[in-house]
Amino acid sequence: MTMNVPELFGSKVFNDEVMKERLPKDTYKALKKTIDEGLHLQLDVANVVAHAMKDWAIEQGATHFTHWFQPMTGITAEKHDSFISPEPGGKVIMSFSGKELVKGEPDASSFPSGGLRATFEARGYTAWDPTSYAFIKDDTLCIPTAFCSYSGEALDKKTPLLRSMQALDKSAVRVLMLFGNSDVKRVITTVGPEQEYFLIDKEVYNKRPDIIYTGRTLFGAKPPKGQELEDHYFGTIKERVSSYMKELDEELWKLGILAKTKHNEVAPAQHELAPIFSTTNIATDHNQLTMELMKTIASRHGMACLLHEKPFAGVNGSGKHNNWSISTDTGMNLLEPGATPSQNAQFLLFLTAVIKAVDDYQELLRVSVASAGNDHRLGANEAPPAIISMFLGDELEGIVESIINGTDYHDKEKKLMSIGATVLPHIPQDTTDRNRTSPFAFTGNKFEFRSLGSSASISGPNVVLNTIVAEVLDQFAGELEKADDFEKGLNELVRRELTAHQRIIFNGNGYADEWVKEAEKRGLANLKSTVDALPAFISDKAIEVFTKHGVYSKTELMSRYDIMLENYEKIIHIEALTMDSMVKKDIMAAAYEFEGEIAKTVKAKADAGVGTAVESKQLAKVSALVEAMTDKLEKLEADIEKGSEISEVFESAKYAREVLFEDMSELREIVDALEVLVPGKIWPYPTYGEILYSVK
C-alpha cells in the first residue's frame, strides 16, 4: 500500500486547518489572536473550542482526554479522564467543557517540586498552551499544558520556556525598531533538535539489569570490533531498523512532527533522527513525543531504544544538536546574513549579541546541559568538550577580526573593503566549513548548540539561550536608543563587544589538550562534572538575569537547583546499587564457577602426572581478580552506607561524584578484566559484541 504522506501528516492533530474548518468564524478568529499574540483565552471561546475539539477527538476514536505536561522529572506526564458524563436513566453522554480544556488540577504531590509545594500550596494546576496544538495519542486527546503551583510558581519545563521566549521577543523587537523594522510585531526562536539513539534487541536488553535499571551498561569489556572502521556512519540501514524507522516516521507525521532525516550514526547500533525546525516550545513538545514514540515503537519491533547519553563505554555516546535561530513574524531569520550592507549590519548586531551572551553566561549554558548521563560525554574525551566556546567559520571569523582590528577585509573575490558594522561585505552562507568539535557553532543561518544530552528535554538549554540573548539585546537596545548618531553608536558597540568577547571564539580542535590550557589562559570556564557546574545555576549573576526577565523567580531557581542535585545523587546511587547486586548475584558466582573448573583441571592433570604450569597461572590470575573484586565490592558497599548519612543535597551529590562514582569505575575495571578471561558460557550477561550487533 502506498502512503499518502500529505494526507497522513497531522491527521491526529487539532491544527489550524481543523480549527478553521470546525470552529465558528469569530471563535476561530479569537483563538487565532490568542495564539498569535500570546493573549489570554476567554472562557466562552474556550467552551466552543472544547466542544469542537471533543467532537473531532471522538471521530478519531478518542474516549479520554488529558492535560499533557512536562514536570521536572524531564519526561512527560498525563492523567487520563474520560469524556463520559452521567445522564438520567443510567446513560452517559460525552462531554468536555472549556474549563476542562483550559485548566486541570492533577494531584501534584508526587512530582518533584524542590520544596516549592511544601512552602506554598499542596496543589498544582495545568494550563493549556494554545500555541501548541492538541493531538491524539493512545485514543486520548492530549492537551499540551503548563504546570504551576497555585501561587504561580512554575513546576514544569514549559512555563519557563514560554517566559524566556517572551523575554527574547520583547528585547529583539526593541532592537529591530532601531533598524526601522516597524512592521515586526513578534520575534520567536526556532529549534531543530537532532536526536541520537541506540537500538538493541529486546532479548539482550532483558538480560542486562544495568541497562534496564540505569539505561546504560555498568560493565562490559570492549568488543573486538567497535566503531574503528567507521563503516556504520551513513551506512545501509538494516531491514529491521528500516521498518522501525518507517513506522516511527509515520507515527510522528500523524502527530504533525516534521521528521525529516534518518541515518546510521558513527557507533554500531546508533542512529539519528532530525526534524525540520519549528517554534521552540513546539519543538520541545515534539522532541518529548519523539523520544516517547522511539521507545514504544522499538518495543513493538522486539527492540529496545536507548536514549541514555553513554550506554556503552568506549563507544560514541548520544547527544542532541540544538539548532537554534531567531526569526520575526514577517519571516526574517535574524541570524541569516543578508544581501545588503544594512541587513548585514543588523545581522552583525544579533551575532554580536549571541557572542556576548555565550561568553558572559558560559557557565549557565554549561549547567543547562549537565546531567549524570551527560557527564560521560562532556569533558570525558568525547564531543563536545565541557568548555563552552564558539565556532564561526573562516569567513565570519575573518570579518570579526577585521572589525576588531579596524583593518581592511578582503572578501572571497579578493575585493578590498574597509568595514565597520554598517559597511559590510556580503557574508556568504557557509555550510561547508564545519567544526565538529565545537560546542556552539554558527552554521550559516543558525547556531548549533551541540552539548545537549540525548535523553534530556531541550527546554532547559533553550530557556538559558533565550534569556541570555534577551538580556544582551536589552542592553544593546538601551545603549543604541540613546545614541545621537545610530550608525556611529552601532559601529562603536559592535567593535567594543567583539573585542571584549573574542576569547569565546575558537576554531581549532576542541578535543586537544592544548585547548584546555589555552582556554584556561583565556579565562574560560571548564566545569567538568554536573556537581562542578550546578552552583552556577544559583549564582548572583544567574539570579539577576533570570529574575530580571521574569523567567525564574529566585525560589524557582533554588528549587530547580535542589531537584537537579537530588536527581544526580539518585542516579549515581541507583547505579551503585545495581552494580553491587550484579556482582553479588551473578558475576561472583560465575567467577567462582570458572575458578572451580580450572582447579578441577589442575587437579586432574596433577593426578595424571602432567605439568599444570599454564592452568595454575590462569587460576592465579582469576583468583587475584576475584580477590580485588571482593575488596572493591566491600568498599563500594561501605561507601554507599556512609553516603546515606549525608543529608545536605549538595554534599550528598558531591559525595556521589567523588566517592561512589570513583568506586564504581574501579570495580568496573576489575570486572571487565575478568570478563575477558571467563568463558562466554559461564559469563552471566551478553557481551558488548552481542549487544551492539544484536539487531541483525
Of residues 377 and 450, the one with the C-beta less far from ligand ADP: 450
> How many whole angstroms separate alpha carbon 584 and alpha carbon 573?
17
> How many whole angstroms separate alpha carbon 623 and alpha carbon 678?
12
Of residues 276 and 620, the one with the C-beta less far from ligand ADP: 276
- In order of 210, 304, 445, 626, the CA distances from 215 in angstroms are 7, 10, 35, 26
Of residues 278 and 530, the one with the C-beta less far from ligand ADP: 278
Of residues 253 and 447, the one with the C-beta less far from Mg ion: 447
What minimum distance in Å lies between the beta carbon of 170 and ligand ADP?
Answer: 20
> How many whole angstroms separate alpha carbon 415 and alpha carbon 402?
14
What minimum distance in Å lies between the beta carbon of 320 and Mg ion?
Answer: 10
Give the helix ranges, DSSP H, for 613-660: 613-643, 649-655
253 binding partner (options ligand ADP, Mg ion, none; Cβ < 5 to 8 Å by kind): none
What minimum distance in Å lies between the beta carbon of 431 and ligand ADP?
Answer: 7
Of residues 47 and 435, the one with the C-beta less far from Mg ion: 435
Of residues 194 and 285, the one with the C-beta less far from Mg ion: 194
Q: Give the relative orientation of helices 341-360 and 459-482 as an angle to the nearest 10 degrees.
A: 120
What minimum distance in Å lies between the beta carbon of 354 and ligand ADP?
Answer: 13
Beta bridge partners of 324: 191, 447
Q: Which of 581, 583, 591, 577 minimizes the C-alpha distance to 668?
A: 583
192 binding partner (options ligand ADP, Mg ion, none; Cβ < 5 to 8 Å by kind): ligand ADP
> How many whole angstroms separate alpha carbon 660 and alpha carbon 7?
53
DSSP class of residue 424? Answer: -
Three-state SS at 574: helix
DSSP class of residue 659? Answer: I
The three cell numbers locating residue 485: 548618531
Which residues 315-344 are close enough to bind ligand ADP by CB under 6 A? 323-325, 333
Among 31-39, 273-281, 482-490, 533-541, the segment contacting ligand ADP (CB under 6 A) = 273-281
What minimum distance in Å lies between the beta carbon of 235 and ligand ADP?
Answer: 16
Of residues 410 and 436, the one with the C-beta less far from Mg ion: 436
The three cell numbers locating residue 599: 582447579
281 forms part of the interface with ligand ADP (CB under 6 A): no
Which element (helix H / strand E) includes 14?
strand 13-14
Of residues 329 and 518, the one with the C-beta less far from ligand ADP: 329
632 binding partner (options ligand ADP, Mg ion, none; Cβ < 5 to 8 Å by kind): none
192 forms part of the interface with ligand ADP (CB under 6 A): yes
The three cell numbers locating residue 628: 580485588
* Binder among 75, 92, 276, 676 for ligand ADP (CB under 6 A): 276
What is the per-residue binding string for ligand ADP in 137-176, x denoting contact by CB under 6 A? ----------------------------------------
For 543, counting Cβ atoms within 10 Å of its Cβ (0-12 exposed, 13-18 middle, 19+ buried), the class is: middle
What minimum distance in Å lies between the beta carbon of 456 and ligand ADP?
Answer: 17
Of residues 334 and 656, the one with the C-beta less far from ligand ADP: 334
Q: Are strands 124-128 and 140-149 parallel, antiparallel or unpaired?
A: antiparallel
* Binder among 257, 259, 274, 354 for ligand ADP (CB under 6 A): 274
Cβ of 27: how many Cβ atoms within 10 Å? 20
Which residues 291-320 are close enough to bind ligand ADP by CB under 6 A? none
- The angle subtended at Cα 504 by Cα 499 and Cα 507, nearest 5°, is 105
What minimum distance in Å lies between the beta carbon of 166 and Mg ion?
Answer: 28
> How many residues of this chain interact with ligand ADP, rule: CB under 6 A?
15
Which residues 444-463 are close enough to bind ligand ADP by CB under 6 A? 445-446
What minimum distance in Å lies between the beta carbon of 255 and ligand ADP?
Answer: 17
276 binding partner (options ligand ADP, Mg ion, none; Cβ < 5 to 8 Å by kind): ligand ADP
Q: Which residues bind Mg ion (CB under 5 A)?
A: 194, 321
277 forms part of the interface with ligand ADP (CB under 6 A): yes
> How many whole angstroms separate alpha carbon 169 and alpha carbon 329?
10
- In order of 1, 241, 677, the CA distances from 4 in angstroms are 9, 22, 55
Three-state SS at 392: coil
> What is the maximum alpha-carbon separation in the chain?
103
What minimum distance in Å lies between the beta carbon of 280 and ligand ADP?
Answer: 9
Name the closest residue to Mg ion (Cβ). Answer: 321
Among 231-239, 285-293, 439-447, 566-574, the segment contacting ligand ADP (CB under 6 A) = 439-447
Of residues 29 and 436, the one with the C-beta less far from ligand ADP: 436
> How many whole angstroms separate alpha carbon 47 and alpha carbon 262?
41
> How many whole angstroms separate alpha carbon 472 and alpha carbon 155?
27
Beta bridge partners of 64: 82, 140
For 406, counting Cβ atoms within 10 Å of its Cβ (0-12 exposed, 13-18 middle, 19+ buried), the class is: exposed
445 binding partner (options Mg ion, ligand ADP, none; Cβ < 5 to 8 Å by kind): ligand ADP
Give the footprint of ligand ADP on this chain (CB under 6 A). 190-192, 194, 274-277, 323-325, 333, 443, 445-446
